[in-house]
Structure 1
């Protein structure tokens, strides 16, 4: 269960960062257009990327054991820097999520935009493949870790899309994002420490 909760926490901390994809999901939810399909598409894409990260990293490390400490250090560095950015945002002031924009009217165009925002974003690959893969290498159960991360994706996207009308006013408040940024910073730093701590005793 520890691996599951680690995957869930890391998945939420990464996916909750404000970005074009989340803004698009929120906008579709507010407008009530193709919400279920948009949420499902985002979650399935995330699940595929997470699976590639977890099992792809495991395969590479099995063939090249020297990659293990390198990936752990890279993952920890990324988390420390990413957490630092979240902490700065928390201290200096939050930023409201603006869902404004022209909505797509057809399902095909909507899903095309959704897929572009997912697969053409380089940060997606850093988060799901490189970082999640590095963290998963230190887990006692990769299956449980992956399950936690996938549950986080499905829960977040469907909650964001279908709860958009209620979240609209909440997410418009900078103070809310200050609190979320602070929580994400602490969580990311905790995972970073868990990555490099065992290396001191190896």
Structure 2
């Protein structure tokens, strides 16, 4: 049971840590203190709903078709390897630090709609929550516990973005910080891909 929980926590945590439009948007709001907890809460809720739907829909289907599960396992390996390669490339090549320009404060309505846009209009969100993560979860002892672990990772991560954005803004402006973050993400994704390729759950 605990292995399923930790696997969900690590797998989901490693995937959502990759800084994309959604995470960068919340960090920007947090730095400016513009309804950042509303935005973070909306992202948490969307993740939990999609993860639950994917886990108890996709995984249930895959478990009835072992050949489909095997095929999706290798799709997951390829995709995770691609994520790892991208992150490690950024770690070696470097990228600009995250900065947020001050501007006119937006209303809560505009923040909510913008958050929905970077969430529901992002194909990566559906690929992760409805396909990749449930494919890994389908191999776990308890689907419900796996979803709980994955949901915990989402809650912890978006809470960290909302709470720590302002405090960490000087550090996040340094390119070296993102080299370290990208390196850790790349190694984590590569490790998950290897364990998935060997037919083992992560962590082993």
How much does 1:166 deviate? 0.8
Change (3 A) 1:193 1:94: same
How much does 1:53 deviate? 2.0
Unaligned runs of 5+ residues in structure 2 are: none
Number of corresponding residues: 199
How much does 1:92 deviate? 1.4
How much does 1:101 deviate? 6.5
Cα distance in 2 for partners of 1:103, 1:83 equals 37
In the alignment, which residue of structure 1 is the partner of 2:193?
Answer: 192
In the alignment, which residue of structure 2 is the partner of 1:30?
Answer: 31
Unaligned runs of 5+ residues in structure 1 are: none
**145-154 or 86-95, larger mean C-alpha shift:** 86-95
In the alignment, which residue of structure 2 is the partner of 1:68?
Answer: 69
Cα distance in 2 for partners of 1:102, 1:127 equals 33
Cα distance in 1 for partners of 2:104, 2:50 equals 27
Change (3 A) 1:10 1:100: farther
How much does 1:103 deviate? 5.7
In the alignment, which residue of structure 1 is the partner of 2:171?
Answer: 170
1:23-102 correspondence to structure 2 within 5 Å: 23-100=24-101, 102=103
How much does 1:138 deviate? 1.3
2:198 alignment partner, SS class: helix
**124-133 or 190-199, larger mean C-alpha shift:** 190-199
Query: Could you state the TM-score of these two structures normalised by the residue count of structure 1?
Result: 0.91
Checking the alignment, whether the CA contact within 8 Å between 1:18 and 1:97 is kept in structure 2 is no
- Runs ≥4 in structure 1, deviation > 6 angstroms? none
How much does 1:90 deviate? 0.9
Query: Could you state the TM-score of these two structures normalised by the residue count of structure 2?
Result: 0.91
Cα distance in 1 for partners of 2:104, 2:79 equals 34
**40-49 or 29-38, larger mean C-alpha shift:** 29-38
How much does 1:94 deviate? 3.8
